[in-house]
Amino acid sequence: MRKIAVAKGDGIGPEIMDATLKIFNAANVALDYQIVEMGKWVFDKGFSNGMTPLAQQTIEQTGILFKGPMETPKGKGVKSVNVTARKTWNTYANKRTFQTLHGVDSVFSKAGIPIDITIVRENIEDTYGGVEHMLTHDVALSRRFITRPGSMQVIRYAFEMAKKKGAKRITCGHKANIMKITDGLFLDVFYEVAKEYPELNADDVIVDDLCMKLVTKPNLFDVVVLTNLQGDIVSDLCAGLVGGLGFAPSANIGDHISIFEAVHGTAPDIAGKNIANPTSLLLSGVGMLQHIGLMESASLIENALLYTLESGVHTGDFGDKTTPALNTTEFADTIIANFGKQPKHNPKAYLNDVPFSCSVLHLDKNPMLETTENTGEKIVGVDMFIESNVQPEELAKKCLRHAGVKFKLVNISNRGTQVWPTGSRYTNLVNQYNARFESIDDTALNQQDIIGLYVNLSGDFKICSLELLNSWGDKKSYSLAQGQ
């Protein structure tokens, strides 16, 4: 019996988890459930990360967490336990499969347009790093991290998964036309990995165009890989195509630990009423069984669920309103009664169980992800983020006084738009500027040079933040201001 950690969650979580485990037990699934304490009620007991130390230890020992929906307390300055879990255990790939489910009506099912889309979302980086600061009383900053190793992990997973799925097309959704450095890096890695998979048709699409096409011709897409925030939004969009979050399974895949969960909310308004729909969590559980090699049980349960839905059986949140809705327990019991029956549409093949292997779970140090640097790095300047409410020309005069013999003031921008040496009086300003200083004749600088400029400027200004301007070889690795 393989041990897995189970966290029932908040709100309707315990009800839908109990229903799911009841189905698993009826199917004689070879799992030993280790119940762990996670969720809002754990926050309330004083654990700031939403889980007890014993829960963390159990999850790290088993390598699998199966969890219900969880709530993060509002207004207490704590991070989402869902995001914390994904990031703590480096579950870098969020896989969500969206398929037409017969018996679950949507615009596309009624039109006879089949949907089978898998979204793979980067799960660790991007603005979901949650690194935020108030630079002035009017200006908030969120740092967006996109890394080459992190992008490589999720994109390689997406290609491997697409290959195993038998996909013909894999698409990178991005905004590299605007965010040329961050999304540009993600897109570059996508095409680097694509060279290793010539059998797959790899292409890319700007994310806003992707969203339009998904709601007009979703059957054009097969596997789509995106950065974290964009992937979060597109995933929920795709859930809407097939009936909602109640039918959207979710798997968070890492090298050592993986998390399978329902992604819908805790629905406190119906908690305790035994009327919640367990389908999303059950589908996530089926994905978990497949992940750990329990293929026979996965096929038995999924076919029974599909047959049940196809038969018109439903809970109160979907289905034919002229027929009685079942409660959570009755819905689970009906699925169990349908074990061994085959749905007419998309029946799942019964496969033999396969051995599950996972890399070493017990690590003695944190893995360092770093690629080889091929060309020399040098510092060629600095962006000084300055708090000020003066006009750009006055700010420039003061900055020019401090440039010295190593720096030249190249431009000043406000919210990313150039306002000096050229600009427009119609550009609205906030009280935080970026003064860009570059080295004269592209001479290499050192950190002491930057600190010296910082000290000089600090006599006239509050420096909110700074960023080094780096170059590798002949490639400048920083963006230009709008209008520069």
**Domain pair 103-232 / 377-476, same fold:** no
The CATH label, of 3.40.50.1820, 1.10.150.20, 3.30.1130.10, 3.40.718.10, for the domain at 103-232 is 3.40.718.10
Mean pLDDT computed over every residue of the chain = 94
The confidence score (pLDDT) of residue 360 equals 46
> Which is it for strands 93-99 and 249-253: parallel, antiparallel or unpaired?
antiparallel
- Domain spans of the chain, in order of start: 1-92+254-371, 103-232, 377-476
CATH code, residues 1-92+254-371: 3.40.718.10
Please give the share of the chain, as a percent, with pLDDT higher than 90. 83
DSSP 162-207: HHHHT-SEEEEEE-TTT-TTHHHHHHHHHHHHHTT-TTSEEEEEEH
- Please say if the pLDDT value at position 329 is more than 90: yes
Q: Does domain 377-476 have CATH number 3.30.365.10?
A: no
Determine phi and psi for 320, rounding to 5 degrees.
-70, 115
- 34-50: average pLDDT: 90
First to last CA, the chain: 63
Q: Is the dihedral of CA 304, 309, 313, 314 positive or negative?
A: positive
pLDDT in tens, 371-383: 887 778 899 999 9
pLDDT in tens, 71-119: 887 766 677 888 889 999 999 999 999 999 999 999 999 888 999 999 9
The confidence score (pLDDT) of residue 198 equals 96
The confidence score (pLDDT) of residue 354 equals 83
Q: Is 45 exposed, middle or buried (0-12, 13-18, 19+ CB in 10 A)?
A: exposed
pLDDT in tens, 106-163: 999 988 899 999 999 999 999 988 899 999 999 999 999 999 999 999 999 999 999 9
The confidence score (pLDDT) of residue 358 equals 56
Measured CA to CA, the distance from residue 276 to residue 443 in angstroms comes to 65
Q: Is the dihedral of CA 191, 192, 194, 195 positive or negative?
A: positive
Are 39 and 7 in contact, with CB atoms under 8 Å apart? Answer: yes
Q: Which of 8-17, 36-45, 328-337, 429-438 has the lowest mean pLDDT?
A: 36-45
The confidence score (pLDDT) of residue 77 equals 65
The confidence score (pLDDT) of residue 364 equals 83
Measured CA to CA, the distance from residue 35 to residue 65 in angstroms comes to 10
Please give the share of the chain, as a percent, with pLDDT higher than 70. 98
Give Dmax over CA atoms of the chain in angstroms.
82
Are 350 and 299 in contact, with CB atoms under 8 Å apart? Answer: yes
pLDDT in tens, 278-313: 999 999 999 999 999 999 999 999 999 999 999 999
Nearest CA to 32 out of 61, 67, 64, 3 is that of: 3
Measured CA to CA, the distance from residue 15 to residue 10 in angstroms comes to 9
Please state the pTM of the whole predicted model.
0.92
- Please say if the pLDDT value at position 357 is more than 70: no
